[in-house]
Structure 1
């Protein structure tokens, strides 16, 4: 029955198997044999879908990127009741609301969050060695997040009647750099109580770069 799965479903199954292994033991624990055993298939099945470990890691990274994109999009599009808060103060409220809505998804997927840093480091090591992984998966990951953040910032400004006083592309990079550091710190100390204030600090730092629309 397993051998009759459509190719796309088989690849998705093997990628999820690889992600499970990587969450437990890191990217280094992902081998063709380990993935086959974890998925309950033969080595030949894995080799048929992926011609190398690097190809499998690229597929893992693409899956994680898509999952991150979906989580960010869902969080930033949380429905709201009543009129939007206005002005720079209202902008800060909207930013904080979006960040706060995203945070539970981060906390509930701690293992996968660690894995995103591992895959990024793995990709950067390949780049340094002159063997770019896929289409430079680390760069693709951050460009995707940049796009999600830029769209979120633009919508918040539109809803609050404000304008950004700096290029929104730069603000997206700054926002993600701050959030990236916050996630990494939380993964180290798991201090969820501190996160509430720290997310508001990020919202304050970013909203300070806006003005009311005249």
Structure 2
């Protein structure tokens, strides 16, 4: 393979790793297999990343950054009112699940792997917090646009939002049910609206 700049080579290796890991899973993603996928010596991969763990960290960062890109791309306002705006965000994010289920599956698998690695766990936690921060800011900005003062800390709302969405993604990957998923997505939006507007959940109970 012709010489390419280190940054470009790194990007090639990460994308090759993503393709291999989506097909075979993290357990099959040895440095030898990933190097073979791209057609480079195994030593090249070790030179660029140092270890398989560092490569996996880079894959987590890449996949999470792609996911964050969809959140960052949402305009404010994204709809005709606050609820419609959150529904639009949710629909866009869910479309990535429908379009790229293997990437979502791989990210979930790597997050489980990361729980047993202090270094990988740290980078995963950092990116999770970044998702929360960006989503919280989006909720704040949308509420402000419509003259709403959130009744609950929007970081908490963002954490709830992705906890619910992550659970629904796992259900979709294992036992998809489009009608039920649409109902669940609508309930997630309902709860976000109620938390922001009234500081309560769908039962009407005030949130601490």
TM bucket by the smaller chain?
0.7 to 0.9
**When the two structures are aligned, how many residues end up with a matched partner?**
198
- Residue 10 of structure 2 aligns with which residue? 11
Q: Report Cα offsets for 1:97-138 as digits up to 9, x if no partner.
A: 211122212211100101111111111112xxxxx1247122
Mind listing any 5+ residue stretches in structure 2 that lack a counterpart? 199-208
Could you say if the C-alpha distance between residues 210 and 55 of structure 1 is closer, same or farther in structure 2, counting changes exceeding 3 Å?
closer
Paired position in structure 2 for 1:161: 147
Equivalent residues of 2:115, 2:121 under 8 A apart: no
- Partner residue in 2 for 1:129: none
Segments of 4+ in structure 1 off by > 3 A? none
1:144 correspondence with 2:144: no
TM-score by length of 2: 0.87
Counterparts of 2:23 and 2:30, CA distance in 1: 13
1:166-200 deviations in whole A, cap 9, x for unaligned? 11111111111111111111111222333322211
Whole-Å Cα distance in 2 between the matches of residues 72 and 94 of structure 1? 12
SS of the aligned residue for 1:10 comes to: helix
TM-score, normalising length: structure 1: 0.85
Question: Which of the residues 65, 75, 78 maps onto 1:77?
Answer: 75
* Kept in 2: contact 1:157–1:163 (CA 8 A): yes
**Which 5+ residue runs of structure 1 have no aligned equivalent?**
127-131
Partner of residue 198 from structure 1, selected from 161, 180, 184: 184
CA spacing shift, 1:78–1:187, aligned 2, 3 Å:
farther
For 1:47, the equivalent position in structure 2 comes to 46
The 1:3/1:134 distance shift into structure 2, 3 A limit, reads farther
